[in-house]
């Protein structure tokens, strides 16, 4: 598997000289009094829109001032054989919007660097602001992702940019290392999502997660079909009945000795490696074209715990990943079947394309044995979520305390993987009542994203948050630094949440 292990950042120690032009020590900011930024080759300079423009030639200053009046945010001062970009940061915006604007600018910087075949890039801020540089760098590097495994001429397509020098006196090596680890984990999640099902079966997904665990230092246990049958995980087994490939149930554990929480936080990731809809075959043109992404929740869980382990974040987290494909072959489960689930509840199946909630339900029931502090599931669950807010955010709902949900939503803003909280009123429970079983697996024409969440809540007895990532998980056209196809959504969001616990 081609993971995104792109060595993208070389940290420049704060005590250094670059061609005697920039003098930096641990207790000072950059001194440009005697020299100009122009002399640093292939550079990106962040300036604040509200600040006085200094450290540029008269001609450059005049050009920059004119561009700012025209509301330009990226100003190209490049000359022969030298890329020089000025990024204008608007400090009047909210902090999270400033951060996102800089990530988006990073996407444009990357495009320019590739256009000019730049291998080494210098990034600095006129006011020596560390965060500005890190956000811009994040956008540059997230934009650099490419899934090249299946190209015959992959070597020719590799990203040209190899090194980013962060010229700043305040950035710490640990911060740079954390950013590298986080982005590499996003790349791993993207790789998993982008893999086709003729490679990434449920068993192969489990194998890949075991490899990641071995390399990153977290524990992985995989249940095969016999174990799943002995546990009577009826939802997972029902969805798997149409497949010739066996299901898996993967348990991922990161439990450092210095964990802040005694009870674990459990992450549950939907692992449908391909979804045809089963006997309720997906009917519309193109509706199956992106269904290899139906395990994006599983990829997000794996990528998040990878990041936690490699950064040694002191939180106790367990990941549960039920995995199978959903096909109409063999003895596939059918509409009007009644399935007995892992917790003993019975479900009337009215649509076999509502399979994600069937396998997640067993995992949510299984989570009870860990007496969790909180459970969060991530799933590409409903078209209703996409219809409601498009690819611009995550649909969230649940019964966890408002202060917990607020912290998660704050992390959504911090990373711009924003969460829109939907109502979770008890009236919606009425829509999933069945005439012949404990509940049915679809709730009717309206409020589909919510009734899916309410179905899942039936299998919980702990604080619970459901995240429907169907919109942002897989993109049919490029979207800034998220790129095209698998985005790895959820990894940055959850790492920020855990980091700020």
In a domain, 25, yes or no: yes
Q: What are phi and psi of 286, to 5 degrees?
A: 80, -5
Residues 165 and 253 reside in one and the same domain:
no
CB neighbour class for 499 (10 Å; exposed up to 12, middle 13-18, buried from 19): middle
Query: Collapsing DSSP states into helix, strand and coil, what is residue 214?
Result: helix
Shared domain for 218 and 124, answered yes or no, is no
* pLDDT value of residue 328: 97
* 8 Å CB contact between 498 and 313: yes
- Which residue, among 159, 126, 167, has the nearest Cα to 142 in the 3D structure? 159
Number of CB atoms found within 10 A of residue 258's CB:
9
Taking the CA atoms of residue 92, residue 182, residue 304 and residue 227 in that order, the dihedral angle to the nearest 10 degrees is 160
Per the structure block, which two tokens stand in for 428? 């919606």
pLDDT of residue 39: 60
pLDDT of residue 401: 97
Give me Rg for the CA atoms of the chain. 24
Is residue 350 helix, strand or coil?
Answer: coil
Residues 361 and 301 in one domain: yes
Report pLDDT for 54: 80
Task: State how many domains the chain has.
Answer: 2
- In a domain, residue 288? The reply is yes
Asked if residues 70 and 64 have their Cβ atoms less than 8 Å apart, the reply is: no
Strand partners, 319: 252, 267
pLDDT of residue 66: 94
Domain boundary residue, one of 101, 135, 169: 169
- Using the 8-state DSSP alphabet, how is residue 79 labeled? B
What is the structure's pLDDT at 322? 99
Claim to verify: residue 103 and residue 222 sit in the same structural domain: no
Give the domain CATH number at 449.
3.40.630.10
Residues 108 and 253 in one domain: no
**Residue 2: per-residue pLDDT:** 32
Please tell me whether residues 158 and 220 are part of one structural domain: no
CB-count exposure of residue 231 (10 Å: 0-12, 13-18, 19+)? middle
Record the tokens describing residue 227, joined without a space.
């174990």
Compute the C-alpha angle 355/194/276, nearest 5°.
30
Among 144, 169, 194, where does a domain finish?
169
Q: How far apart are CA 250 and CA 222, in angstroms?
A: 4
Kindly state whether residue 350 falls inside one of the protein's structural domains: yes
What stretches of 234-338 show up as alpha helix (H) in DSSP?
A: 234-240, 296-310
Look at residues 145, 115, 103 and name the one whose alpha carbon lies nearest to residue 5. Answer: 145
In a domain, 305, yes or no: yes
In whole angstroms, give the CA distance from residue 133 to residue 232.
52
164 and 197 in a single domain? The answer is no
Q: Are strands 74-76 and 84-89 parallel, antiparallel or unpaired?
A: antiparallel
3-state secondary structure string across 265-289: EEEEECEEEEECCCCCCCCCCCCCC
* Same domain, yes or no: 111 and 228: no
Is residue 440, in this structure, part of any structural domain at all? yes
Do 24 and 140 fall into the same domain? Answer: yes
d(CA 343, CA 361): 9
Task: Look up residue 303 and give its two tokens.
Answer: 């990528």
Distance CA 327, CA 241 (A): 8
Secondary structure of 13-78 as H, E, C letters: CCCEEECCCEEECCCCCCECCCCCHHHCCCEEEEEECCCCCCCCCHHHHHHHHHHHHCCCCEEECC
Any domain includes 177: no
What does the pLDDT read at residue 11? 42
Distance CA 58, CA 66 (A): 12
Contact status, residue 238 vs residue 339, Cβ threshold 8 Å: yes
In this structure, are 212 and 159 located in the same domain?
Answer: no
Residue where a domain stops, chosen among 143, 169, 195: 169
Domain that holds residue 57: 10-169
Residue 1 lies in a domain: no
pLDDT for res 441: 98
Residue 92 belongs to domain with CATH number = 3.40.220.10
Q: What is the pLDDT of residue 92?
A: 84
Q: Are residues 226 and 194 in the same domain?
A: yes
Per-residue pLDDT of the chain (501 residues; tens, 9 = 90+): 333 333 445 444 333 222 222 322 222 233 333 333 446 889 999 999 888 888 788 999 999 999 999 999 999 999 878 999 999 998 888 899 999 999 999 999 999 999 999 999 999 998 889 999 999 999 999 999 999 999 999 999 999 999 999 998 898 889 999 999 999 999 999 999 999 999 999 999 999 999 999 999 999 999 999 999 999 999 999 999 999 999 999 999 999 999 999 999 999 999 999 999 999 999 878 889 999 999 999 999 999 999 999 999 999 999 999 999 999 999 999 999 999 999 999 999 999 999 999 999 999 999 999 999 999 999 999 999 999 999 999 999 999 999 999 999 999 999 999 999 999 999 999 999 999 999 999 999 999 999 999 999 999 999 999 999 999 999 999 999 999 999 999 999 999 999 999
What are the b/e assignments for 125-141, b being 16+ CB within 10 Å? bbebbebbbbbbbbbbb
Angle ∠(480,486,492) on CA atoms, nearest 5? 70
- Kindly list the catalytic residues: 282, 357
Structural domain contains residue 175: no
Residue of 193, 93, 115 lying closest to 147 (CA atoms) = 193
Residue 433 token pair? 């009542």
Please say whether the beta carbons of 459 and 343 come within 8 A: yes
The verdict on 294 and 438 lying in the same domain is yes
Give the span between the Cα atoms of 219 and 482, in whole angstroms: 29
């Amino acid at each position: 598997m081609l993971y995104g292990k792109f060595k993208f950042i070389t940290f420049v120690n704060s005590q250094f000289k670059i061609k005697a032009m920039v003098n930096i020590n641990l207790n000072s900011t950059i001194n440009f009094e005697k020299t100009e930024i122009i002399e640093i080759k292939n550079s990106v300079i962040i300036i604040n829109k509200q600040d006085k423009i200094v450290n540029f030639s008269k001609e450059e200053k005049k050009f920059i001032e004119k561009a700012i009046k025209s509301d330009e945010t990226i100003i190209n001062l490049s000359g022969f054989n030298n890329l020089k970009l000025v990024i204008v940061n608007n400090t009047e915006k909210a902090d999270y919007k400033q951060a996102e604007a800089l990530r988006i600018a990073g996407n444009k910087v990357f495009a320019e660097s590739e256009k000019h075949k730049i291998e080494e890039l210098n990034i600095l801020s006129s006011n020596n602001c560390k965060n500005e540089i890190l956000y811009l760098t994040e956008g540059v590097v997230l934009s650099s992702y490419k899934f090249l495994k299946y190209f015959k001429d992959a070597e020719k397509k590799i990203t040209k940019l190899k090194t980013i020098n962060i010229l700043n006196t305040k950035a710490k090596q640990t911060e740079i290392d954390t950013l590298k680890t986080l982005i590499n984990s996003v790349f791993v999640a993207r790789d998993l999502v982008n893999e086709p099902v003729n490679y990434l079966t449920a068993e192969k997904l489990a194998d890949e997660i075991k490899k990641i665990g071995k390399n990153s230092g977290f524990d992985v246990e995989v249940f095969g079909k016999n174990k799943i049958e002995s546990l009577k995980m009826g939802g997972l087994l029902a969805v798997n009945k149409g497949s010739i490939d066996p299901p898996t149930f993967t348990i991922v554990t990161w439990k450092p000795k210095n964990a802040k929480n005694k009870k674990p936080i459990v992450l549950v990731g939907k692992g449908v490696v391909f979804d045809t809809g089963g006997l309720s075959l997906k009917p519309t043109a193109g509706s199956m074209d992106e269904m290899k992404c139906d395990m994006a929740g599983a990829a997000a869980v794996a990528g998040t715990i990878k990041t936690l382990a490699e950064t040694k974040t002191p939180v106790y987290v367990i990941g549960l990943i039920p995995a199978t494909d959903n096909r109409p072959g063999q003895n596939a489960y059918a509409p009007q079947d009644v399935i007995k689930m892992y917790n003993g509840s019975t479900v009337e199946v009215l649509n076999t394309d509502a399979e994600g909630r069937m396998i997640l339900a067993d995992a949510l029931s299984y989570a009870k044995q860990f007496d969790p502090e909180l459970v969060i599931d991530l799933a590409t669950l409903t078209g209703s979520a996409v219809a409601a807010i498009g690819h611009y955010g995550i649909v969230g709902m649940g019964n966890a305390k408002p202060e917990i949900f607020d912290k998660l939503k704050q992390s959504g803003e911090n990373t711009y993987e924003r969460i829109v909280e939907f109502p979770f009123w008890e009236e919606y429970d009425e829509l999933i009542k069945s005439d012949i079983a404990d509940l049915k697996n679809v709730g009717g024409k309206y409020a589909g994203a919510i009734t899916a969440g309410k179905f899942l809540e039936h299998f919980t007895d702990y604080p619970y948050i459901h995240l429907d990532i169907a919109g942002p998980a897989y993109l049919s056209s490029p979207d800034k630094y998220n790129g095209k196809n698998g985005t790895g959504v959820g990894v940055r969001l959850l790492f920020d949440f855990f980091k700020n616990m």
